[in-house]
Structure 1
Amino acid sequence: MGGAVFLDLLLARYRRTVVTAELVGHVGWISRLVAIGLLILWISGIGFLLLYQVTEPQKLMNPKIWAKVTIVAILSINGLAIHRLVLPFLRQRIGHQLLSGINGRTKTALISCGVISAVSWTAPVVLGAVPQLNFVVPCTVILATYALVLVQAFLIATFVLRDAAGREASLSDLSDGIEEQPLHHAAPAT
């Protein structure tokens, strides 16, 4: 989870700077660690499901468990999208600003992958830390809340990136409109 959140924050930070081969190398290295973490998450989760099946089958009726499994499945699909689409895109951006000059559809896809990553790594941790939800809240309510958080996070990220792009464009327009003017000194009064 830490690696995934670090990558999301790193890319958000570097969205306005030129992508370097060094940055792409760091992102590739950390993303491999995140993939290993996701694999470990699946192995441990399946291990718990098998343990529950053998020792306490009633725990498999906990809707929270199935919500977590669904969220981790979404996280896994998003991870595939990141490795197949986002990382190659990042390599193509070496020498260019990350989000500069790309179409809205591509920007939306990048924001979506980042938001799904951040929310989906956090959600299972939060669900695991709140035992009060066990056998109380239906899976559909948990997943609806998850979906609502995804939508809110996407809107916030889109607004922040749009606002940042708008400020950059305004500053660029302002600096383009200002030409160097020689200083005129008033003639001394006689």
Structure 2
Amino acid sequence: MELFRLSIVYLHLIACCVAIGLVLTSDIAMVNQLIKGGTAGKQENDHLNSLKKTVSLALVALWITGFAIVWLDVSAKGLGYFANPKMQAKLTIVALLTLNGFVLHNAVMPAMEKAGSLLQMEFNQRMLAIFAGAVSAVSWFYAAMLGVGRPLAWKYSLVQLLAAYPALIVTGFVAMAMLTVWSKNRSNPDFPQFVEAYSRKMK
């Protein structure tokens, strides 16, 4: 039974690594696009395709293997297994990650495909896309941290374990929002003249 559980944990870890890799590469591609500009179409499509694969295939694999792990542990330890704050934190993060996946698929991605790029989206849609992206990136990495953080079990409360989670989401959202504002202003034909005039004023 222990070997069977280990094989499921291994598959769970593989799925998590693949998901984090795709999230990281797609986010890096989007940041590069915002910084460099000029290749929005191709990079935006690559980002969307990677994100779709991450949210769908990886989440399905993680739900299946994660459910199997929980079922085996509950069978061995009883329902008291769910009293572990670390397990509660993991379930909370995965639930939020799944809900955020539905938002990405049903609202953000169709709007982004229709607009053509992140910068061409309407303000409210762009803010929703940035927020959902921040939730996705932070949640994947946070869930992975909780997954490998066995020493955290029973040592901290649920509130303590999740204290950094909203702070990281807000930080990621603000950083990406500022980057999109800078990139959008940079694409404005009058931006170079504005920068030059501002520089002269500062002198």
Kindly tell me: are residues 117 and 129 of structure 1, through their superposed partners in 2, closer, same or farther at Cα, counting changes over 3 Å?
A: same
Confirm or deny: 8 A CA contact 1:90 1:98 kept in the other structure: yes
1:61 is matched with 83
- The whole-number CA distance in structure 2 between the counterparts of 1:56 and 1:135 is 15
Structure with more of its chain in helix, by fraction: 2
TM-score, normalised on structure 2?
0.73
How far apart in 2 are the matches of 1:26 and 1:172? 27
The answer to whether the aligner puts 1:84 opposite 2:106 as a matched pair is yes
| Aligned residue number for residue 99 of structure 1 | 119
Q: Is the 2:119–2:126 contact (alpha carbons within 8 Å) kept by the matching residues of 1?
A: yes
1:20 corresponds in structure 2 to 41
What is the aligned residue count? Answer: 175
- Quote the sequence identity (%): 25
Equivalence for 1:146: 165
1:125 partnered with 2:144 = yes
* Counterpart position of 1:39: 60
Measured against aligned partners, the alpha-carbon deviations of 1:54-89 in whole angstroms (never above 9, x if no partner) come to: 112343321111111111111111111111122212
Structure 1, 162-171 or 118-127: larger mean CA deviation? 162-171
Aligned mates of 2:38, 2:129 — CA distance in 1: 16
| 1:153-172 mapped onto 2 (5 Å cutoff) | 153-169=172-188, 172=191
Q: What are the ranges of 5 or more consecutive residues in structure 2 without an aligned counterpart?
A: 1-19, 197-203
Contact 2:86 2:152 in 1 (8 A): yes
Aligned CA distance change for structure 1 residues 4 and 146 (closer, same or farther; 3 Å): same
Structure 1: unaligned runs, 5 residues or longer? 178-190
The superposition leaves residues 129-155 of structure 1 with CA deviations (integer Å, 9 ceiling, x where unpaired) of: 222210111112222321122112212
Cα distance change of structure 1 residues 164 and 123 upon mapping to structure 2, 3 Å threshold: same
Deviates more, 1:4-13 or 1:132-141: 4-13
Which structure's relative contact order is higher, taking Cα pairs within 8 Å and 6+ residues apart?
1
Moved more, 114-123 or 48-57: 48-57
| 1:141 counterpart letter in structure 2 | Q
SS at match of 1:20: helix
Residue 24 of structure 2: aligned partner: 5
**TM-score using structure 1 length:** 0.77
Letter in structure 1 aligned against 2:106: R
Match of 1:73 in 2: 95
Contact (CA 8 Å) 2:73, 2:81: kept in 1 or not?
A: yes
Q: Separation in 1 of the partners of 2:144 and 2:46?
A: 28
